[in-house]
Structures are given as structure tokens and as C-alpha cells.
Amino acid sequence: MSETVHSGPGGGPEAAGAPSASAQPQSEPGGAGRWNATRIALVLIAVVVIVWIGIKAAGNLEQFVTVTLNGLSLSALYFVVASGFTLIFGLMRVVNMAHGTLYLLGGYLALNFQQKLFQDDGGGLNLSLSAGGGGGGGEYNLIEWIIPLAMAVIIIGVLGIAIQQLFLRWNQGQDLRQALITIAISVVAADQMLATYGGIAKDVKAPASFPESVHIGGSTVGFFRLVIVVGSALVIGLGLWLLIKKTRYGKIVRAGVDDRDMVSALGINVQLVFAGAFFLGAMLAGYGGVLGGTMLSLQPGEDTSFLLNSLIVVIIGGMGSLGGAAIGAVALGLVDAYADVYLVFGDHDLTNYSILLTFALLVIVLAVRPLGLFGRPA
């Protein structure tokens, strides 16, 4: 029980993602020499990939910038969601399989509030017609986006506490059972959301005052993606890092990870700390849901998709590691974005197979670091 919520050493230079892991000197115990061949192979793969992307990028620089920025905004969204997941795991060893559910529910709640509270009169029918179409469905200003956001996020946070207190608290330490419990919750919740919100893709409307897009050089990137989502991720990452490293709460959290009983014996209410962490982690999922609901869309299946994304991000980065989550998110987002565009070899369009690259990313990281880039043995 020693893995901590730690920010990885030096988040910056290694942001290139998976291949850089091969260059890391510290290997797992007992495997020092054995991995040489693997590492050479990995470095070769990395070189080939970089050269390929380089060639493609040189061909069309504007497209490259657009794709990269889109990928990074996707990374930012993945990070926001996964940071909550990794926070909860790092502190409590709870794998919250309902994390994707909290994400989707957060988005739906914000959508609900936005429509219920701020829709113009007589817009009920109007909206159902324009769902997904954009435009026409009434315009919302900044406040009308932020208030639903805040309400949804707080409700999701409270829901997270409820799940933790009602179901998980008395099963502390039984990580498998807790995972099964959260799976059961997500099954019920997914079905209920389908009943309530239907199967059609919907989205939360971004404030009308936001510009549509920003221009960088000759490239055009969506304003919301680039400024709001990436900005949120940066603020959240920095905030969590400060919270964990610099505050008393963070100290207790880190101590609680290492030795819960001792912290408890010192007169600190560990249960309160745990509830706080679950509140925070769930809020992050809900916040991610509102961002994702505005930037992408909300529909059944997104919960699975974001649970998978969170899993991959933290498996790559190492469970419980904030810096790892950041790097994992960047790697996953960029792989997603590049694979969708650059997997065309002459006449062969292989973009259908892009999911294999995600799998390959996972395999490569695990081959070198079984616990993820910054994972530490329990």
C-alpha cells in the first residue's frame, strides 16, 4: 500500500508519449539487460513513426497544426476525466468503474438544466428538431452555460459521495468487490439514462458569445476546444498538483495512501478525507462530461468510451499518478488524432484500423513498464 498520488517527475520533456519510456534508465527490477533488444525495437518504431508523421506534416503543415491541436484538446478532455479516476484510485485503491457513467450523467444534467432553465418560451419542440443540428436551437450566453455546468458538477460530486458512503465504504480494501459494485451501478445508471434521455446524440450548447474558432497561422481550430478545454485541463492539473503537494489536505491524502491506520491514529478523520477525494474525483468526471457534451456529444455508449479512455490513460501513465495521467492523456489524444488522418498509405486507407494503434500504444508501454510509466508497485 505505498503507491501515492504523486505527480510524475518532470512532466514536460517526456510528453512525447510512449516511445520515450524506452529511453528511461530505470527499468523494472531484474530486467536490466533483458530489455535491450526490445528497447532497440521500440526506438526504431518510434523513429519510423516520427519520420512518417514528419513527412506527412511537411506535406501539409496547416493540416498538421490543426490535427495536433485537435489531438491536444482531446488529450485535455481525457486528462480532466482520467485525473478524477486516478485520484480516487491513488488514495483509496478504488477502481471506479462508474466513472464513465458519472461523466455521461454530468453532461446530461447540464443539458437538462440548460434547457429547463434558460430555454426561450415555446422552444420545446424547436429543440427536439434541432438536436445535433446546431444553430436554430436557441442561443445561450455565458451565464447560461456556466450555471448548468456548476449545478451538474456539484450534483455529480454529491452522487460520488453517495456511492462511496453507501456502497464502498464498508467494503474498504476489497478492491475487486468494489469494482464489481461500481460496475453494477454503471449498468443500472446506463439503462436509466437511456430511458430518460433516449438514444439520440445531444449536445450542450456552448455560449453564443464564444467565437467559433481561432486561427493560428493558416490553421483553424475550434475556440471551445482549444481555449476552454485545454485551459481547463491546465488549470485542473496545476490545481490538483498544488492541492496534493502544497496543502494540508494533500499531505493527509498522501499520508493516508501510505498508512491509513497511522493517519487515523493521529486523530485525523480519514473517512472525511476519503469522502472529499471521492467528491473531487466525481466532480472532475462530471466537469469532463459537460466539456465533452459541449465539445463532442452525449449519447449512450459515451460512458463506455470514456471509461475505456480513462482506463487506458491511467494504465499508460500508472495508476494513481497525476503526471502519468497527463502524459497518458497526451499520448492517447495524439495517437487518436494522428491515426484518424495519417493512416493513409497511397491508395490504402487504413484509418479503420486506428483502434489497433491505441492497442499498440498500450502494449508498448506495458512491455517496458508493467505498472505504467509512473506506476509504483503496491
Partner 1 sequence: MSLAPDAATAEAEARTASHSTLTRNGWISLGVVIVVAILASYVVSDFWLSQILTKALWIGLAAASLIFLSAYAGMVSLGQVAIYGIAGMTYANLVAADGGNPASWSPWLAVIGAIVAATAAGLLFGFIASRSEGIYFLMLTLAFSVLVYYFFSQVTQLAGFGGVNNLDLPGLVGDPGADPAPLYFTSLVVCVALYLWMRYVARTPFGLSMQGLRDEPARLRALGFNVRLHRTLAFTFAAFIAAFAGILAVWYNRRISPGSINLGQTIDVLIIAVIGGLYRIEGAWVGALAFALLDNYSREWTPEIGNILGPERFNTLLGIIFLIIVLVSPGGLVGAWESMVERLRRRNGGGGAPRTTTTPGPEGGPAPTTVK
Residue 346 cell numbers, joined: 497511397
Q: Is 167 in the site for partner 1 (CB under 8 A)?
A: yes
Among 77, 257, 277, 312, binds partner 1 (CB under 8 A): 312
Q: Is 34 in the site for partner 1 (CB under 8 A)?
A: no
Q: Is 308 in the site for partner 1 (CB under 8 A)?
A: yes
Tell me the residue length of the chain. Answer: 378
Query: What is the spatial distance between Cα 64 and Cα 71, in angstroms, rounded to a whole number?
Result: 10
CB 163, CB 278: distance < 8 Å:
yes
Closer Cβ to partner 1, 87 or 226, answer by number: 87
CA dihedral 370, 354, 85, 287 (to 10 degrees): 160
Among 74, 91, 190, 206, binds partner 1 (CB under 8 A): 190
- Residue 344: beta bridge partners? 349
Closer Cβ to partner 1, 159 or 226, answer by number: 159
* Three-class secondary structure of residue 214 per DSSP: strand
Query: What is the spatial distance between Cα 90 and Cα 105, in angstroms, rounded to a whole number?
Result: 23
Least distance CB 363 / partner 1 (angstroms): 6
**Binding marks (x or -) toward partner 1, 314..353, rule CB under 8 A?**
-x---x--------------------------------xx
Q: Is 196 in the site for partner 1 (CB under 8 A)?
A: yes
Among 57, 95, 253, 285, binds partner 1 (CB under 8 A): 95
Query: What would the DSSP string read from start to end of 284-308?
Result: HHHHHHHHHHHHS-B-TTHHHHHHH
Least distance CB 181 / partner 1 (angstroms): 5
The residue type of 281 is G
Among 173, 284, 322, 374, binds partner 1 (CB under 8 A): 173
Among 72, 75, 90, 93, binds partner 1 (CB under 8 A): 93
**Binding marks (x or -) toward partner 1, 357..376, rule CB under 8 A?**
-xx--xx--xx--xx-----
Q: Is 216 in the site for partner 1 (CB under 8 A)?
A: no
- Residue 339: beta bridge partners? none
Q: Is 146 in the site for partner 1 (CB under 8 A)?
A: no
Instruction: Name every residue whose Cβ is closer than 8 Å to that of residue 85 and which is 6 or more positions away in sequence.
Output: 96, 99, 281, 285, 310, 311, 313, 314, 325
Closer Cβ to partner 1, 177 or 246, answer by number: 177
Cβ count within 10 A of residue 49: 18
Q: Is 247 in the site for partner 1 (CB under 8 A)?
A: no
Cβ count within 10 A of residue 101: 30
The closest of 237, 135, 216 to 225, measured between CA atoms, is 216
Among 24, 134, 143, 177, binds partner 1 (CB under 8 A): 177
Query: What is the spatial distance between Cα 323 and Cα 327, in angstroms, rounded to a whole number?
Result: 6
Phi and psi dihedrals of 202, rounded to 5?
A: -130, 160
Among 195, 217, 345, 348, binds partner 1 (CB under 8 A): 195
Q: Rounded to a whole number, what is the distance in angstroms from the first to the last CA of the chain?
A: 5
Closer Cβ to partner 1, 23 or 187, answer by number: 187
Closer Cβ to partner 1, 230 or 257, answer by number: 257
Q: Is 259 in the site for partner 1 (CB under 8 A)?
A: no
Q: What burial class does residue 190 get, using C-beta atoms within 10 Å of its C-beta: 0-12 exposed, 13-18 middle, 19+ buried?
A: buried
- Positions that interact with partner 1 (CB under 8 A): 93, 95, 167, 170, 173-177, 179-181, 183-188, 190-192, 195-196, 304, 307-308, 311-312, 315, 319, 352-356, 358-359, 362-363, 366-367, 370-371
